[in-house]
Structure 1
Amino acid sequence: MSKITPSPTLTDSKILIVDDDPSLLRLLGIRLSAAGYQVESAKNAKMALGRLESFHPQLVISDLKMEGMDGMALFEQIRAKHPHIPVIIMTAHGTIPDAINATKQGVFSFLTKPFESKELLAIVEQAIRLQPAELKHDQADNQWREKIISRSTIMESLLQQSKQVAKSDFSLLIHSQSGTGKELLAKAIHLASPRHNEKFTAINCAAIPEQLLESELFGHTKGAFTGAEKNHSGLFQATDGGTLFLDEIGDMPMSFQVKLLRALQEREIRPVGSTQSIKVDVRIISATHKNLQQAIIDKTFREDLYYRLNVVELVLPPLSERREDIPLLAQHFLNQSAKQSHINISGFSQEAMEILISADWPGNIRQLQNVVEQTVALSTEPLISEMLVKSALRDKATILPSFAQARDKFERDYLAKLLKITAGNVSQAAKIAQRNRTEFYKLLNRHHLSAEAFREE
């Protein structure tokens, strides 16, 4: 028997299969994957609707008879929101009249169980081939943003703006709260830019000690300082031609800001210990959760550097302003966690999901992911319960700060304690901290602490 294989241009297409029969779902997945298609599966129609938003398939294959929402109800929802995605309905022999009626309503085709691989692949190839060319182009054109899971209008507006500015080489500043996915957006912009084939490098400016930041970004020569046993290329050189993402730029020390400004103006860097400058071609995307305009007033951030970095500002909304994305994100994290842990959990109870949607989420997406992972680890049922979600939200351990946030808190508390012990005597406090007065004052300014407030009457 001859084997039908889809043409090479079709085999990278995405197919979503929906069936409440696990064995058939697995068999279909094997057959289509073996033919070269990218396959996602869903055990029911509601799960399939969630998969649509993140997977962006070119074709949906669904069983007709399923518990809850059936195949035709699923088709109606797909047609309403994604009218160009063809749907193939699978049906048992006794429901052929229903299937014929379905094709009259717009279903692409139907398959009568049991069917052979040859028949399946022929219909699948035909469905994908007949898709409008502009739809195929749009779907391929959206690959840059496929890791950003969202259906909210506020995020869609931001993504359209991001795609527009990605075409240029202007420096971008992303402003948002911690835990919202700034790096994910920066990477998406890189993928939508003319530099997408070059390297994307991310660095957290708050996590690198001040004395190492210059070496990390600009590199150093052998013998430039103790421990520099060989020449080291910094991230600017390593990312030449690509995009460099500077996260938490608001925490960059003032002493280094002028060096970064020069590098951006001259488009060249000078490694530590070197007398020679090196030309670099790097697109800069920076991000912060701080108010940099206030930092300029407080003299903790250079105004000239701010305008160099902030040619275009993108504001990434907190999770509380995009609540319609919570079900999609929660299901995505659940699928990830369940797969990694080999746990059979399919979703959340309706009550559990309502709590997730209405929660405050001060830690944003990072906190949501942590809560979902905790509930998956503790669940003994196929559906996450309301009680588990409530417990995870109450547990302070689920709201873990980032390394930078934890370090900032430690520094602030430590400095405040020193000033309290010394009654605001900066010289004495600096001596205990083993720092000179100038450096100690910089630390106080960074954390908005005033020695005068601790001095006794």
Structure 2
Amino acid sequence: MSGQVIFIDDEAAIRQAVQQWLELSGFQVRTFSRAREALAALDRDFPGVLISDVRMPDLDGLGLLEQLVALDADLPVIMVTGHGDVPMAVQALRQGAYDFIEKPFTPERLLDSVRRAMDKRRLVCENRQLREQFARKGRIESQLLGVSRAMVNLRRQVLELAGTDVNVLIRGETGSGKEQVARCLHDFSPRAGGPFVALNCAAIPETIFESELFGHESGAFTGAHGKRIGRIEHAAGGTLFLDEIESMPLAQQVKLLRVLQEKTLERLGSNRSIEVDLRVISAAKPDLLEEVRGGRFREDLLYRLNVAELHIPPLRERREDIPLLFEHFASQAAQRHGRAAPPMTPGELTQLLAHDWPGNVRELINAAERHALGLSAPATASRGGHSLAEQMEAFEAQCLHNALQQCKGNIAEVMTQLQLPRRTLNEKMQRHGLSRSDYLPAGSTET
């Protein structure tokens, strides 16, 4: 298809002829006899062109144009006029119309105007999409911090999956940030306006798990004084995050599977089915296939939950992120406590890079807070030890990131600051997975 066109005219014969001309040229056409009907079918993201007669009952072309400009000033509107309506058409151009065509017109005249308008609309929509992608990219970089190639890939995967409605399984060690990734999947999705409901399956006693997840009616069991809305029902229209899903009792796994299959649930003590529209994001530490083989997890539920999978690398596998994360969390902690974060010494930085961080980001946050309060050294000694080369690589990546950030992606300034020739800088950036475009100011384009 060459694009979408909406055509409005109160004469059926003209609507039919124009629709036929445009469809033969590859356009997707919808026709309306009244302007208000067309308005109801439009939104700001309409990827096409609108053509309207000027003189129509109820709402005329100028009135329609006024409402369209308010909806989207960049929407191309072509006005069709009678011989005596040319002054009115000129007025429409002043009000924001793209073009006007005088009756009677040839198919060639109409098609020429529509094609030019469609090219303009396509460019506007592409630019909007690029700006939105850039804005989303900037926002997610402030939520999932890191300059390592692993984190760059994770942010890309999150943004790609956020736009879908598939269920996602997140794998990662304790403290690696699984809930933060789940929140990003929600925040950058079409469900962002709905609730984000988190439940740690390991923290709920098995005796109350069903009530917590599905809710209950008054009197459903001893102590059930009044109706309770469960976590699944509360998440309707949004996202349900089930952390440590491997800890869910098998009996509740069966009931969750039914909810996912039928998109309905029944509260404990009720026979009434309640429709639920939700996306489920789950997180697990162990390999759930191993849990299935051990009879601890249902295979059919796993396939429902694991439509897509995200892996969060442990901190020890992305050491170049450690200085940035530590500085960020120490600064946050210092602000909370109303004091300035003490600067890091070279020795402290060496300790940070050498430590294995078994508790991952959660452990790093604790160390950063203690550092901000001046309570202790930022990290304990390394458990396994890392070579000088590994520590230098991580430190080099952080230096490159800092310079690119300070210079806002200006390569000439980075070369001067780090005293590196262009070829060497390019090789180092490529080795560490750093891209100049990630540091350009919002709205900038690469040259």
Bucket of the pairwise TM-score, normalised by the shorter protein? 0.5 to 0.7
Match of residue 251 from structure 1: 247
User: Which amino acid is 1:265 matched to?
Assistant: Q
Match of residue 378 from structure 2: 389
Match of residue 196 from structure 2: 200
In 2 relative to 1, CA 155–271 (structure 1 residues): closer, same or farther, beyond 3 Å? same
Task: Please give the secondary structure, in 2, of the residue aligned with 1:313.
Answer: strand
Task: Please give the secondary structure, in 2, of the residue aligned with 1:296.
Answer: helix
Cα distance in structure 2, aligned partners of 1:360 and 1:391: 9
Match of residue 231 from structure 2: 235
Match of residue 43 from structure 1: none
Q: TM-score, normalised by structure 1?
A: 0.53
Task: Please give the secondary structure, in 1, of the residue aligned with 2:378.
Answer: helix
Q: TM-score, normalised by structure 2?
A: 0.55
User: Which amino acid is 2:371 matched to?
Assistant: T
Cα distance in structure 1, aligned partners of 2:377 and 2:243: 34
Match of residue 351 from structure 1: 347
Match of residue 140 from structure 1: 135
Query: What is the deviation of 1:145?
Result: 4.9
Deviation digits for residues 82-135 of structure 1 (CA, Å, limit 9, x no counterpart): xxxxxxxxxxxxxxxxxxxxxxxxxxxxxxxxxxxxxxxxxxxxxxxxxx9887
Query: What is the deviation of 1:393?
Result: 8.1
Match of residue 175 from structure 2: 179
1:29-428 matches, within 5 Å, as 137-142=132-137, 143-379=139-375, 388-390=377-379
Alignment check: 8 A CA contact 1:331 1:347 kept: no
User: Which amino acid is 1:260 matched to?
Assistant: L
User: Which amino acid is 1:170 matched to?
Assistant: V
Query: What is the deviation of 1:185?
Result: 0.4
Deviation digits for residues 264-321 of structure 1 (CA, Å, limit 9, x no counterpart): 1111111011111111000000000012111111101111111111111111110111
1:442-453 matches, within 5 Å, as none
Alignment check: 8 A CA contact 1:335 1:346 kept: no
Deviation digits for residues 55-107 of structure 1 (CA, Å, limit 9, x no counterpart): xxxxxxxxxxxxxxxxxxxxxxxxxxxxxxxxxxxxxxxxxxxxxxxxxxxxx
In 2 relative to 1, CA 269–135 (structure 1 residues): closer, same or farther, beyond 3 Å? closer
Query: What is the deviation of 1:332?
Result: 1.0
Deviation digits for residues 159-215 of structure 1 (CA, Å, limit 9, x no counterpart): 111211221111100011010000000110111211111111111011011121211
Cα distance in structure 2, aligned partners of 1:364 and 1:336: 18
Cα distance in structure 1, aligned partners of 2:200 and 2:301: 17
Alignment check: 8 A CA contact 1:144 1:191 kept: no
Task: Please give the secondary structure, in 2, of the residue aligned with 1:201.
Answer: strand
In 2 relative to 1, CA 229–179 (structure 1 residues): closer, same or farther, beyond 3 Å? same
Cα distance in structure 1, aligned partners of 2:234 and 2:170: 23
In 2 relative to 1, CA 137–168 (structure 1 residues): closer, same or farther, beyond 3 Å? closer
Cα distance in structure 1, aligned partners of 2:175 and 2:331: 20
Cα distance in structure 1, aligned partners of 2:133 and 2:300: 39
Cα distance in structure 2, aligned partners of 1:170 and 1:136: 25
User: Which amino acid is 1:354 matched to?
Assistant: T
Task: Please give the secondary structure, in 1, of the residue aligned with 2:352.
Answer: helix
From the CA coordinates, give the structure whose radius of gyration is larger: 2
Cα distance in structure 2, aligned partners of 1:218 and 1:390: 43
User: Which amino acid is 1:388 matched to?
Assistant: A
Cα distance in structure 2, aligned partners of 1:376 and 1:317: 26
Query: What is the deviation of 1:347?
Result: 2.8
User: Which amino acid is 2:148 matched to?
Assistant: S
Structure 2: where are the runs of 5+ without partners? 1-126, 384-447
User: Which amino acid is 2:315 matched to?
Assistant: L
User: Which amino acid is 2:279 matched to?
Assistant: R
Cα distance in structure 2, aligned partners of 1:190 and 1:370: 26
C-alpha RMSD of the superposition: 2.0
Match of residue 433 from structure 2: none
Query: What is the deviation of 1:138?
Result: 4.2
Cα distance in structure 1, aligned partners of 2:168 and 2:351: 36
Q: How many residues align?
A: 256
Alignment check: 8 A CA contact 2:355 2:380 kept: no
Task: Please give the secondary structure, in 2, of the residue aligned with 1:262.
Answer: helix
Structure 1: where are the runs of 5+ without partners? 1-131, 380-386, 395-457
